[in-house]
Structure 1
Amino acid sequence: MDIPPVGSTATQTSQLNNALGQDDFIELFLTQLRAQDPLEPVNNQDFLAQMAQFSLLESNRVSNEELASLRALVEANQGIGLIGKVAETQSGGQLVVGEVISVGFETTGTVVSLKVTDASGEEFFLNELPVSQLTRVYNDEN
């Protein structure tokens, strides 16, 4: 008999948690109400507790959406402030320094383009570099 690795159970659990949402909760709740014994209906306290859980679930969902929107807005504002600044990042195992010449907004987050001049004076560009990969940002005067 094969025994699945320990990590697979955690993965399956997280996939299940991500798969269950508001609609699933409502469906389970309505199924429970339809299937209850008419001679012994759901206790009012249990019913109220389930409604409170549902309200909390919906409130958490809305809060998470709002926080994600706020995070994206803050990251976009920070990205715009980087234009014209000098930034450092790691590329190919080496420290690369260049000027931020543009900012883009992807679904994964804010990205920048750096104009880099190498030791021989050749210019090249690092495009679609996530802001999180910048290790240092400073004014051009420094």
Structure 2
Amino acid sequence: MIESIGTVINNPARDVQQAGLGQEDFLQILLTQLTFQDPLKPLDNQEFIAQFAQFAGLDQERQANENVEALLTMQAADQAVSLLAKAVEVRTDTGTILGEVTSIGFNQGVPAFTVRTPDGEFLTDIALSQIVLVQ
């Protein structure tokens, strides 16, 4: 569970702000469409309402998606805080090391742990995805 949340938080796609169209964009497109429409074939009201309904639905989906992402971020932060003072096993380049989580920092919403090993050494900037076992 920890690893799966860690990969969600560390996803660089989350850094991208709204890449879709906003309401102003829709109105700009509509205005352009009305400006350049064929006077002999004007935009049908039903077609306009259908386009607007589609756009409103997409906007609601985008907002729901943002809310789910915020919920996942809060859940991961809560999960990270719950690891304070816990014994953990951390995966490093040299293998796995047992230690205790002594502090947590957040960099752009991503938790970074400090772990004290049994010999008193401090491992810093440990990502959530590096923690393989919690005792």
Q: Give the TM-score normalised by the residue count of structure 2.
A: 0.75
Q: Output aligned runs, 1:1-142, within 5 Å.
A: 19-22=19-22, 23-117=24-118, 121=119, 123-138=120-135
Letter in structure 1 aligned against 2:128: V
CA separation of 1:91 and 1:59: change in aligned 2, threshold 3 A: same
Q: Give the TM-score normalised by the residue count of structure 1.
A: 0.72
- Whole-angstrom distance in 2 between the partners of 1:26 and 1:129: 47
- SS of 1:65's partner is helix
The superposition leaves residues 65-119 of structure 1 with CA deviations (integer Å, 9 ceiling, x where unpaired) of 21121111111111111101011121113011110011122215222111113xx
Q: Which has the higher contact order (CA 8 A, sep 6+)?
A: 2
CA separation of 1:35 and 1:45: change in aligned 2, threshold 3 A: same
The superposition leaves residues 38-71 of structure 1 with CA deviations (integer Å, 9 ceiling, x where unpaired) of 3321122321221012102211221122112111
The superposition leaves residues 16-55 of structure 1 with CA deviations (integer Å, 9 ceiling, x where unpaired) of xx85432544432321122112332112232122101210
Aligned residues: 117
CA separation of 1:128 and 1:30: change in aligned 2, threshold 3 A: farther
- Whole-angstrom distance in 2 between the partners of 1:20 and 1:80: 34
RMSD: 1.9
- Whole-angstrom distance in 2 between the partners of 1:107 and 1:124: 26
- Whole-angstrom distance in 2 between the partners of 1:30 and 1:134: 53
For the 8 Å contact 2:89–2:132, the answer to whether it is kept is yes
Would you identify which runs of 4 or more consecutive aligned residues in structure 1 move more than 4 Å?
none
Structure possessing the higher radius of gyration over alpha carbons: 1
- Whole-angstrom distance in 1 between the partners of 2:94 and 2:50: 55
Structure 1 gap segments, 5+ residues each: 1-17
Structure 2 gap segments, 5+ residues each: 1-17
